[in-house]
């Protein structure tokens, strides 16, 4: 007896979340064309909805990959003239290059990341295209993650695909002498993949498929570049964040901020690995600096982020966190990698330093409100609301919470912000919801 339509739909949806990047990446190796591979991968999932009611395969990823490849080969056989014109996006079958064997390779998703992050593409296009292809995110979800309009996201993705085709960008992991020029954006994209899963768009707080995929990609990068501190730092950062995952959600499914988390629910083994990797990465950077007589740069931005995460997870409690040192880490990031989001995080940390001038912090947040990159960023009004509440200005704090709720796409965060708003003292000027 076959499976019900509901069960099949749930299994196909789960397979899409877990296997999309593998199916697409493997199909690209056959098609040598991103658009064609994406079409075939999507069609494979459609066929699963029609076929799986008879029998759900034991290996959904293998079934989907096989179907997508067969669809691609059929189209290529029918369109031989097109095939002659397609850009060479893959190594020749049988190549002995890294990950270049004829069979599907676990490095295929990483190959796709490097293809999307080719220096011939604009950086913003690299990020948008990778989020679309590796995460399987919709254009709307990509836009939300990058704080841009849906039309802008669609245009970036389309331009990037056309540029890959026109330039004949190869589908492979670059040679050693090419890795450095792409590493920073690849690391950025992997972190964005994790972020897209850490606070997902929709009713659920997280998407485990995306956070898991990001960690796997970071692990592959560490294997590929074992002597580089930044991949090690990124993996450390993701592991320390992931280790706190269970404590982020209460028993009734509500969001719990780090300040209120039950630290006994943290994954101690994963935390230890993250801290160990972060420490090793910092030592790698120090050795490099000594070897060059101090000419090499200091800790990279992922090493600094990992250091901040380490300060959080090694503190005995939220109250005993070394906020002064956290602020110093953000100051270092602002020197080397200035951005409005780093400045916002720095201001939020500064507000928690014992004896901090909250009015001064509020002034910094007000100034950041003029940054176009933060216009649709929910954490800015949320940070302002927190500071205003601590300054005893509940009416203004309530309005900022309203703004943050309107900008938040995650149901768990919306409920959390609504609870924070409801906890504000009621004054004559503002009605607080039940």
- Residue 334 has a CB neighbour count (10 Å cut-off) of 14
Nearest to 274 by CA among 225, 309, 321, 326: 309
State the architecture of 5-86 in CATH terms.
Orthogonal Bundle (1.10)
**Distance from C-alpha of 369 to C-alpha of 352, rounded to nearest angstrom:** 20
Instruction: Give the position of tokens 């993705």.
Output: 157
Q: Which pLDDT score, from 0 to 100, does residue 3 have?
A: 65
Residue 388 buriedness (CB in 10 A; 0-12 / 13-18 / 19+): buried
**Distance from C-alpha of 422 to C-alpha of 398, rounded to nearest angstrom:** 8
- pLDDT above 60 for 87: no
Per-residue pLDDT of 191-242, as tens digits, reads 988 998 898 777 778 888 889 889 989 999 999 888 899 999 999 999 999 9
Strand partners, 255: 249
**Distance from C-alpha of 86 to C-alpha of 32, rounded to nearest angstrom:** 7
Phi then psi dihedrals of residue 401, to 5 deg: -65, -40
Q: Which pLDDT score, from 0 to 100, does residue 80 have?
A: 60
The lowest-confidence range among 20-24, 351-355, 360-364, 413-417 is 20-24
The count of C-alpha atoms lying within 13 angstroms of the C-alpha of 29, restricted to the half-sphere facing its C-beta, is 28
Mean pLDDT of the chain: 85
Domain ranges of the chain: 5-86, 105-238, 303-377, 379-434
Q: What are the DSSP calls for 363-417, one per residue?
A: HHHHHHTT-GGGTT-THHHHHHHHHHHHTT-HHHHHHHHHHHHHH--BHHHHHHH
**Distance from C-alpha of 179 to C-alpha of 162, rounded to nearest angstrom:** 23
Q: What is the pTM of this model?
A: 0.80
Q: List % helix, strand, coil for the chain (3-state, nearest 5).
A: 70, 0, 30
């Amino acid at each position: 007896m076959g499976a019900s339509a509901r069960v099949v739909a749930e299994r196909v949806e789960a397979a899409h979340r877990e296997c999309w990047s593998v199916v697409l990446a493997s199909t690209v190796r056959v098609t040598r064309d991103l658009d064609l591979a994406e079409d075939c991968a999507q069609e494979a999932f459609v066929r699963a909805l029609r076929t799986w009611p008879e029998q759900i395969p034991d290996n959904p990823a293998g079934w989907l990959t096989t179907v997508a490849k067969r669809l691609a080969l059929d189209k290529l056989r029918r369109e031989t003239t097109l095939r002659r014109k397609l850009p060479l996006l893959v190594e020749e079958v049988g190549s002995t290059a890294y990950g270049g064997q004829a069979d599907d390779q676990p490095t295929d998703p990483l190959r796709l990341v490097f293809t999307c992050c080719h220096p011939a593409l604009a950086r913003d296009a690299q990020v948008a295209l990778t989020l679309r292809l590796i995460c399987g995110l919709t254009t709307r979800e990509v836009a939300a993650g990058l704080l841009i309009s849906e039309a802008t996201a669609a245009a970036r993705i389309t331009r990037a695909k056309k540029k890959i085709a026109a330039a004949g960008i190869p589908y492979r992991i670059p040679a050693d002498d090419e890795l450095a020029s792409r590493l920073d954006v690849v690391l950025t994209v992997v972190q964005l993949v994790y972020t897209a899963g850490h606070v997902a768009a929709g009713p659920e707080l997280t998407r485990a498929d995306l956070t898991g995929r990001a960690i796997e990609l970071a692990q592959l990068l560490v294997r590929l570049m074992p002597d580089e501190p930044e991949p090690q730092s990124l993996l450390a950062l993701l592991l320390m964040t992931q280790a706190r995952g269970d404590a982020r959600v209460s028993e009734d499914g509500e969001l719990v901020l780090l300040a209120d988390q039950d630290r006994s629910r943290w994954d101690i083994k994963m935390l230890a690995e993250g801290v160990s990797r972060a420490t090793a990465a910092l030592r790698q950077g120090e050795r490099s600096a000594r070897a060059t007589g101090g000419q090499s740069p200091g800790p990279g931005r992922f090493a600094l982020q990992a250091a901040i995460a380490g300060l959080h997870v090694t503190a005995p409690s939220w109250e005993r966190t070394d906020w002064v040192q956290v602020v110093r880490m953000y100051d270092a990031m602002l020197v080397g990698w200035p951005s409005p989001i780093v400045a916002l995080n720095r201001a939020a940390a500064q507000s928690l330093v014992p004896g901090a001038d909250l009015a001064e912090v509020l002034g910094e947040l007000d100034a950041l409100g003029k940054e176009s990159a933060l216009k649709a960023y929910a954490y800015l009004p949320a940070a302002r609301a927190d500071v205003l509440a601590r300054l005893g200005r509940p009416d203004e704090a309530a309005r900022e919470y309203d703004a943050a709720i309107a900008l938040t796409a995650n149901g768990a965060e919306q409920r959390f912000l609504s609870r924070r708003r409801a906890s504000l003292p009621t004054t004559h000027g503002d009605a607080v919801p039940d």
